[in-house]
């Protein structure tokens, strides 16, 4: 009897998809299997985040915390030290170098995979996924070039969605002066331009620093967000345990967002009182985030999103000290102006864009005349607003459903998709930042690698059970 290979298709070869593929190939699967990794971008394992670019954007996390493997936390650092012997665990390295690491790890996993596990790389854009029959049957996966194949299991590793379409930008959509997604279509600045950046977070920092360092005479930037908050810097703080505070945090989360916020502030003050760094407290909360989020009543989650989210994000997602120092220098040179406020509308005026906005806490309307506008608000996790054909197709079929708080997709154990009838799929999974609907913290390598490892073990579990069962007398 010939065993047909079980086919696992992974859609997307950014960090999440590559991590799942590597873990599947590294495991000793005991039955014939085929792992298919599909990616629309030119290079596997890089995705948008780690692509080669003209400017060497830095990782926002030090090298010592970027390993693909939880069992070998220094794997990335050891890879880097082959090229840069003096690199340390606290260095913030170019993102393209991390892309090289992912490519290398994927190739190694492919070369050392068991002989009955076959790996296929497919360059293409998946436009549709449909069930071949009722229930948890196989899927038909279709690419935009008409190619089709059948999969027993599908992992959706779609990466970060595009930024949301901002109100009032309809008049700018066809203008070359507007960058709706700065990573898909990076803006090209001209000397002495004035640009408006919408958002003051990590993407703003990347665009502003790169714009000034790659443009002769530099660019004058205005950056506007609702609160005008700029991320603080990373530091080489010690990762001390906070086990003594876990109970207090968990207890607070069972009641309200306000009590949880108070508990986090008390923890930060205690850490600093004993000579530590407030970032230790943030790391402690981050490690507990999935449990804290799941304990918060739904009404308190909404309250957190309305009142606290911006402050959590800005303290959680920090900048390398080098990047923040460059932003501060640009502010001192009057080449960067940070505003807290709300944009009212845009108007094309010849080769310029007129922007009307209102400062936070003020009734006065102000006007900016700029050469360029860049949307740096970050990914829009509300899947209902997605413009991606595959996501729209999945939603239309009811194979996936958005969560009620517009944070991502509803999932069960191991990222199994929950469909429109509230059923947990047995062979359709999601892995990526939209898991924050259930886990809140799920955007960094440390969280995603753990989900990837657990999913890979779950996917091969049926094969192991079948072989063990068949081997018994």
**Which 8-state DSSP code applies to residue 310?**
H
- CA–CA dist 387, 404 (Å, integer): 19
Q: CA end-to-end span of the chain, whole Å? A: 19
Question: If pLDDT is split at 50, 70 and 90, which confidence band does 465 have?
Answer: very low
- CA–CA dist 77, 38 (Å, integer): 28
pLDDT tens digits, residue range 431-445?
999 999 999 998 888
- Where is average pLDDT lowest: 219-233, 240-254, 341-355? 240-254
Closest to 195 (Cα-Cα) out of 328, 435, 402, 371: 371
435: Cα within 13 Å, side-chain hemisphere: 28
For residue 449, what are the CA distances in angstroms to 69, 72, 110, 285, 389?
Answer: 7, 12, 18, 19, 27
Q: What is the pLDDT of residue 242?
A: 63
Question: If pLDDT is split at 50, 70 and 90, which confidence band does 1 have?
Answer: very low
Helix-, strand-, coil-residue percentages of the chain, each rounded to 5: 40, 20, 40
**Which 8-state DSSP code applies to residue 42?**
S
| 195 class by beta-carbon count within 10 Å (0-12 exposed, 13-18 middle, 19+ buried) | buried
Span 61-88, mean pLDDT?
94
* 3-state SS record for 348-372: EECCEEEEEEEECCCCCEEEEEECE
pLDDT tens digits, residue range 332-341?
999 999 999 9
Question: If pLDDT is split at 50, 70 and 90, which confidence band does 14 have?
Answer: very high
Span 340-360, mean pLDDT?
95
Mean pLDDT of the chain: 90
Closest to 285 (Cα-Cα) out of 311, 315, 313, 249: 249
Span 449-453, mean pLDDT?
95
- Return the H-helix or E-strand segment holding 162: none
Task: Name the 3-class secondary structure at 429.
Answer: strand
- CA–CA dist 457, 102 (Å, integer): 20
Span 207-230, mean pLDDT?
91
String of DSSP letters for 209-275: HHHHHSSTT--EEEEEESS-----B---------HHHHHHHHHHHTT-HHHHHHHHHHHHHHHHHTT
Query: Is a pLDDT exceeding 70 seen at residue 93?
Result: yes
- CA–CA dist 363, 441 (Å, integer): 36
Query: Is a pLDDT exceeding 50 seen at residue 406?
Result: yes
Kindly give, in sequence order, each residue whose CB lies less than 8 Å from that of residue 259, ignoring residues fewer than 6 positions away.
Answer: 252, 253
Span 385-405, mean pLDDT?
95
Q: What is the pLDDT of residue 243?
A: 58
pLDDT tens digits, residue range 172-183?
999 999 999 999
Query: Is a pLDDT exceeding 90 seen at residue 298?
Result: yes
Q: What is the pLDDT of residue 452?
A: 96
pLDDT tens digits, residue range 18-28?
999 999 999 87
- Using an 8 Å Cβ cutoff, are 383 and 389 in contact? no
Q: Which segments of 392-449 are extended strands (E)? A: 416-418, 424-430
Kindly give, in sequence order, each residue whose CB lies less than 8 Å from that of residue 282, ignoring residues fewer than 6 positions away.
Answer: 268, 315, 316
The correct CATH number of 6-162+381-471 out of 1.10.3720.10, 3.60.110.10, 2.40.160.20, 3.50.50.60 is: 3.50.50.60
Q: What is the pLDDT of residue 53?
A: 86
- CA–CA dist 300, 317 (Å, integer): 22
* 3-state SS record for 81-147: HCCCCCCCCCCCCEHHHHHHHHHHHHHHHHHCCCCCEEEEEEECCEEEEEECCCCCCCEEEEECCCC
Query: Is a pLDDT exceeding 60 seen at residue 83?
Result: yes
Q: pTM score, two decimals?
A: 0.92
Q: What percent of the chain has pLDDT over 90?
A: 73
Instruction: Give the position of tokens 């040179």.
Output: 333
- CA–CA dist 13, 32 (Å, integer): 22
Q: What percent of the chain has pLDDT over 70?
A: 93
For residue 440, what are the CA distances in angstroms to 124, 215, 269?
Answer: 31, 38, 24
pLDDT tens digits, residue range 101-160?
999 999 999 999 998 899 999 999 999 999 987 666 899 999 999 999 899 999 999 999
Query: Is a pLDDT exceeding 70 seen at residue 88?
Result: yes
Q: Under CATH, to which class is 169-232+318-375 assigned?
A: alpha beta
Residue span(s) of the chain under CATH 3.50.50.60 come to: 6-162+381-471, 169-232+318-375
Q: What is the pLDDT of residue 473?
A: 42
Tokens found for residue 93: 């390295």
């Amino acid at each position: 009897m010939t065993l047909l290979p079980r086919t696992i298709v992974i859609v997307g070869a950014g960090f999440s998809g590559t991590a799942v593929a590597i873990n599947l190939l590294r495991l000793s699967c005991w039955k014939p299997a085929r792992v298919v990794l599909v990616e629309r971008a030119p290079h596997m394992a890089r995705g948008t985040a780690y692509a080669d670019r003209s400017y060497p954007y830095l990782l926002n996390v030090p090298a010592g915390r970027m390993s693909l493997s939880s069992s070998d936390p220094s794997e990335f650092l050891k890879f880097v030290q082959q090229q840069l012997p003096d690199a340390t665990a606290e260095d913030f390295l170019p993102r393209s170098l991390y892309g090289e690491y992912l490519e290398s790890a994927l190739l190694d996993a492919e070369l050392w995979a068991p002989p009955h596990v076959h790996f296929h790389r497919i360059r293409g854009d998946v436009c549709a996924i449909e069930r071949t029959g009722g229930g948890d049957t196989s899927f038909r996966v279709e690419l935009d070039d008409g190619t089709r194949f059948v999969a027993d299991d599908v992992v959706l590793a779609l990466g970060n969605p595009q930024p949301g379409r901002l109100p009032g930008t309809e008049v700018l959509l066809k203008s070359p002066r507007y960058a709706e997604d700065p990573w898909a279509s990076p803006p090209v600045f001209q000397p002495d331009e004035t640009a408006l950046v919408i958002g003051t977070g990590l993407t703003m920092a990347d665009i502003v620093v790169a714009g000034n360092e790659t443009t002769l005479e530099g660019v004058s930037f205005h950056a506007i967000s609702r609160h005008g908050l700029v991320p603080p810097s990373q530091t080489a703080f010690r990762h001390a345990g906070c086990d003594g505070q876990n109970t207090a945090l968990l207890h607070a989360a069972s009641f309200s967002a306000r009590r949880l916020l108070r508990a986090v502030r008390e923890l930060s003050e205690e850490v600093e009182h004993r000579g530590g760094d407030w970032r230790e407290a943030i790391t402690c909360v981050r490690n507990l985030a999935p449990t804290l989020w799941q304990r918060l009543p739904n009404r308190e989650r909404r309250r957190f999103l309305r009142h606290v989210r911006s402050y959590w994000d800005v303290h959680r997602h920090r900048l390398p000290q080098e990047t923040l120092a460059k932003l501060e220098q640009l502010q001192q040179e009057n080449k960067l102006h940070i505003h807290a406020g709300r944009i009212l509308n845009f108007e094309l005026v010849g080769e310029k864009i007129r922007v009307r906005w209102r400062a936070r806490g003020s009734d006065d309307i102000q006007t900016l005349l700029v050469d360029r506008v860049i949307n740096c608000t970050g990914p829009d996790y509300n899947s209902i607003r997605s413009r991606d054909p595959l996501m729209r197709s999945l939603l239309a079929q009811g194979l996936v459903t958005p969560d009620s708080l517009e944070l991502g997709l509803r999932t069960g154990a191991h990222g199994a998709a929950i469909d429109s009838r509230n059923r947990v799929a047995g062979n359709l999974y999601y892995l990526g930042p939209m898991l924050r609907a259930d886990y809140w913290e799920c955007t960094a390598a440390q969280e995603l690698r753990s989900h990837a490892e657990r999913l890979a073990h779950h996917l091969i579990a049926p094969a192991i059970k079948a072989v063990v069962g068949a081997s018994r007398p």
